[in-house]
Amino acid sequence: MNIIIVCYPTYGGSGVLATELGHKLAQLGHKIHFVAYKKPVRLKLTDDKVLFHKVNVPFYPLFNFQPYELALSSKIVEISESNPIDLIHVHYAIPHAYAAFMAKEMLKTKNINLPIVTTLHGTDITLVGKHPFYRRAVKFSIQNSDIVTSVSQSLKQDTIDFFKIDKEIEVIPNFIDVNRFKLKNENCKQNNRIIISHVSNFRPVKNIRTLLNILLKINNENLFFNMIGEGPELDLAQDFVKQNNINNIKFHGNSDEIEEILCSTDIFLLPSKRESFGLSALEAMASKCALVTSNRGGLPELNIENETGFLVDVNDEDKYVEKITDLISDKSKLEKFKHESFKRAQLFDIELIVPLYNELYYKLLK
């Protein structure tokens, strides 16, 4: 098949997931045309079945907002005119599903059919998508996709509840390449301190203030903290750490060494206000970390209470502290959770999940 994949090119989970999916689909024999405003961070173009098409949006001073959707739909049409495209798979509904619909309509006038698969990732529904300024267009784009998938049961339910749509939504969870993590785990540096890590885009939805208060409460010289990622509340976090003399901490920024950092981590902390899935938590599980997360969104589908870690009410700082302290003081529990985490991560292995997308494509084209 010839497949167009549209995604965000940044370090966010939806872009990472879309990129890994495209690589694997190419290995399965499909030709993948990635479309984004810049090359996705994890995209490798060494496979000649993987191509990248950049969407250029020329600056014009009349526009307060440059029309990205227009350029994107034009690019999709351009690619479909010169390649025998079988389907388009868009990741994150806004504005990708909308642009795909426009491209489909334009292509109809040239007698080209372009089936649309839309994967909902999270805030495209729970935060941005349901905003009154966007929701009609988002609902329309979902209704008019040929197939809609969601990365968790919780996100599927949120979509049905917010948009009152009657469209079938297939749940296909996010995935990781367990083997890649296994290799890193085997060659991982040992540490004599307990390492607690957090990975996110430091947006308010990640509950950074609560995270910092937890770190302050548990802080002692036997612990080390890793903060990975960049975003709007990173400055605030770095400031907080300075003000409160938390010295046993490292901010890694957007890192290409997540697997190395996670493999030496004991506890992964993710107190998100919303989290449709939590791809970073899955990466932590594959790296044998115990999880202490909020109980929001899809996190309970990943983190099993008292088995792979603990689930805590989103802002209950004392409970997070209690659970982390419990794990630090009970080494056998910590080891058991780490082991169970890795075991559970294998259910989300790339080899098991990507075939579900592949089957869906064939079903769509039947």
Instruction: Name the residues that contact ligand GMT, by CB under 6 A.
Output: 8, 12-15, 17, 92, 121-123, 151, 174, 205, 274-279, 297
> CA-CA distance, 351 to 355, in Å (whole number)?
7
List all residues 6 or more positions away from 114 whose beta carbon is below 8 Å from its beta carbon.
76, 80, 85, 87, 88, 100, 103, 104, 107
- DSSP run (H or E) holding 198: strand 194-199
Taking phi over 0 as left and psi of -120 to 50 as alpha, with beta for the rest, 245 belongs to left
Beta carbon of residue 85, minimum distance to ligand GMT (angstroms, whole number): 24
Name which of 14 and 159 has its Cβ closer to ligand GMT: 14
Beta carbon of residue 271, minimum distance to ligand GMT (angstroms, whole number): 12
- DSSP run (H or E) holding 253: strand 249-253
Name which of 35 and 328 has its Cβ closer to ligand GMT: 35
What dihedral do alpha carbons 75, 81, 84, 86 form, nearest 10°? Answer: 50
Beta carbon of residue 123, minimum distance to ligand GMT (angstroms, whole number): 3
Beta carbon of residue 234, minimum distance to ligand GMT (angstroms, whole number): 15
Beta carbon of residue 270, minimum distance to ligand GMT (angstroms, whole number): 9
Name which of 92 and 224 has its Cβ closer to ligand GMT: 92
Name which of 266 and 283 has its Cβ closer to ligand GMT: 283
Q: Which amino acid is at 52?
A: F
Name which of 142 and 279 has its Cβ closer to ligand GMT: 279
Name which of 279 and 284 has its Cβ closer to ligand GMT: 279
| Residue 266 CB neighbour total at 10 angstroms | 23
> CA-CA distance, 312 to 295, in Å (whole number)?
5
Beta carbon of residue 158, minimum distance to ligand GMT (angstroms, whole number): 10
Name which of 246 and 360 has its Cβ closer to ligand GMT: 360
Beta carbon of residue 40, minimum distance to ligand GMT (angstroms, whole number): 11
Burial (CB count within 10 angstroms: exposed 0-12, middle 13-18, buried 19+), residue 283: buried
**Which of the 8 DSSP states describes residue 176?**
B
Residue nearest to ligand GMT (CB): 122
Q: Which amino acid is at 86?
A: D
**Angle separating helix axes 13-27 and 279-286, nearest 10 degrees:** 60
